[in-house]
Chain A
């Protein structure tokens, strides 16, 4: 398996623009997570899905952030409009349902909003 695939790897955009980050989880995994990593706040959960259904979106910072999972093999995280404080590395991770299984992470998208 190719692992969790995220695109793009790097994104530079201007303030006010819409940004869409993409994730393809490992085939067969039931859970999909979006995390954000910053120097100040470390790694924090934004939202996670179970069987394509959003379960916990309490970490989504504002209405400017939205996430979808239209099918088991694809998810997007959208920021509209983007702001400089959204600059961070965004990780997607997936895992299987059974107890004890670990989450597998993608390589992350480094977002820079100027």
Chain B
């Protein structure tokens, strides 16, 4: 079974600075997807960024980028120029891409990010 680990329960960053959130996962599969979701106080789960395992290039979305290390099974999220609105809980998630595999998302425990003005 796949597992996703987010070992840091909380992090804090100064506004306009850069912060990196860590995530590791365990799988025996070679084809899968990794996601970062943001959950602000409103409770809504919002997709931040997605990475396909067969793509070596790291995904980027504006101020958000990932460092995907497939061999190390590591998938960290970097937030540049942090803004007050980035304060939220962030979840790393895994989904198999294998045909016929379970389509569910497996989530890490999440990390609470606070942004200091």
CA distance A48 to B106 in the complex (A): 13
Number of interface residues of A (CB under 8 A): 23
A53 at the interface (CB under 8 A from B): no
Give the secondary structure class of A's interface.
strand
Contact yes or no, B104 A107, CB < 8 A: no
Contact yes or no, A31 B103, CB < 8 A: yes
Contact yes or no, B103 A100, CB < 8 A: no
Q: Mark A75-102, 1 if CB is under 8 A from B, else 0.
A: 0000000000000010101000001101
- A56-B102, A99-B97, A100-B52 known; A105+B44 contact, CB < 8 A: yes
Q: Mark B3-30, 1 if CB is under 8 A from A, else 0.
A: 0000000000000000000000000000
Number of interface residues of B (CB under 8 A): 21
Task: Return 6 A-B CB contacts under 8 Å, by A number.
Answer: A45-B105, A50-B103, A55-B102, A89-B43, A102-B50, A107-B43
Give the secondary structure class of B's interface.
loop
List the B residue with the shortest CB-CB distance to A40: B109
Contacts of B91 in A (CB 8 A): 43
List the B residue with the shortest CB-CB distance to A107: B44
List the A residue with the shortest CB-CB distance to B105: A103
B84 at the interface (CB under 8 A from A): no
Inter-chain pairs besides A33-B104, A56-B102, A93-B45, 17 sampled, C-beta below 8 Å: A33-B105, A35-B105, A42-B107, A42-B108, A43-B105, A43-B110, A45-B104, A89-B43, A99-B97, A100-B33, A100-B97, A102-B47, A102-B50, A105-B45, A105-B46, A107-B44, A108-B45
